[in-house]
Amino acid sequence: MTETLLLIEDESLLSAELVRHFHREGWEVLEAASLQEAKRLLVDQRVQPLVVVSDMSLPDGNALDLLESVRPHATGGEWVFLTGYGGVADSVRALRLGAYDFLEKPCELARLDLVVSGAARSARAQRQLRESAALQNRRYTPAAFLGRSTAARHVREMLDKLAHTSISTLLVTGETGTGKGLAARILHHTGTRREGPLIEVNCAALPHDLLESELFGHEPGAFTDAKSRRRGLMEQANGGTIFLDEIGELSLGLQAKLLSAIEDRRLRRLGGSTQIEIDVQIIAASNRNLFERVREDAFRSDLYHRIAVFTLELPPLRARKDDLDDLVPLFMEEYNAKAGKSIRTVPDSVWSILRAYDWPGNVRELRNAIERCVLLSDTHALAAEWLQFPTARGTESAPRTRDRPAIDLPLDGSMSLEDMEKQILIAALEKSNHSVSAAARLLGASRETVRYRVNKFGLKFRE
The pLDDT tens digits for 120-133 are: 988 888 787 666 66
pLDDT value at residue 403: 47
Percent of the chain with pLDDT over 90: 47
Band (pLDDT 50/70/90 cuts) for residue 315 is: very high
Q: Answer whether CATH 3.40.50.300 is correct for domain 140-315.
A: yes
| Top CATH class, 316-394 | mainly alpha
Lowest mean pLDDT among 239-243, 272-276, 398-402: 398-402
What's phi and psi for 281, nearest 5 deg?
-90, 135
Measure the CA dihedral 399/400/401/402, to 10°: 160
The pLDDT tens digits for 392-434 are: 333 344 344 444 556 767 665 566 777 788 888 888 888 888 8
What one-character DSSP code corresponds to residue 29? E
Q: How many other C-beta atoms are found inside a 10 Å radius of the C-beta of residue 459?
A: 15
* pLDDT tops 90 at residue 209: no
pLDDT value at residue 74: 60
The pLDDT tens digits for 147-172 are: 999 999 999 999 999 988 888 899 99
pLDDT value at residue 112: 93
Question: For the chain, how long is the longest CA-to-CA vector?
Answer: 94
Band (pLDDT 50/70/90 cuts) for residue 302 is: very high
pLDDT top residue among 210 and 52: 52
β-sheet bridge partners, residue 173: 286, 313
pLDDT value at residue 405: 59
pLDDT value at residue 435: 84
Lowest mean pLDDT among 11-25, 126-140, 177-191, 257-271: 126-140
Mean of all residue pLDDT scores within the chain: 85
* pLDDT tops 80 at residue 449: no
The reported pTM is 0.61
Whole-number Å distance between alpha carbons of 211 and 201? 10
The pLDDT tens digits for 349-377 are: 999 999 999 999 999 999 999 999 999 88
β-sheet bridge partners, residue 201: 244
* pLDDT tops 80 at residue 73: no
pLDDT value at residue 400: 42
pLDDT value at residue 406: 65
Q: What is the CATH number of domain 398-463?
A: 1.10.10.60
The crossing angle, in degrees rounded to 10, of helices 150-163 and 180-189 is 40
pLDDT top residue among 317 and 220: 317
pLDDT value at residue 365: 93
CB distance 123 to 111 below 8 Å? no
pLDDT top residue among 200 and 166: 200
CB distance 6 to 53 below 8 Å? yes
pLDDT value at residue 396: 40
pLDDT value at residue 140: 86
pLDDT value at residue 134: 62
| Top CATH class, 4-136 | alpha beta
Asked if domains 4-136 and 398-463 share a fold, the reply is no
Domain regions of the chain by residue span = 4-136, 140-315, 316-394, 398-463
Band (pLDDT 50/70/90 cuts) for residue 285 is: very high
Q: What angle do CA 208, 209, 213 make, to 5 degrees?
A: 105
Sequence-ordered strand ranges (E) for 14-140: 28-32, 51-55, 57-58, 61-62, 78-83, 101-104
Band (pLDDT 50/70/90 cuts) for residue 447 is: confident
* pLDDT tops 90 at residue 255: yes
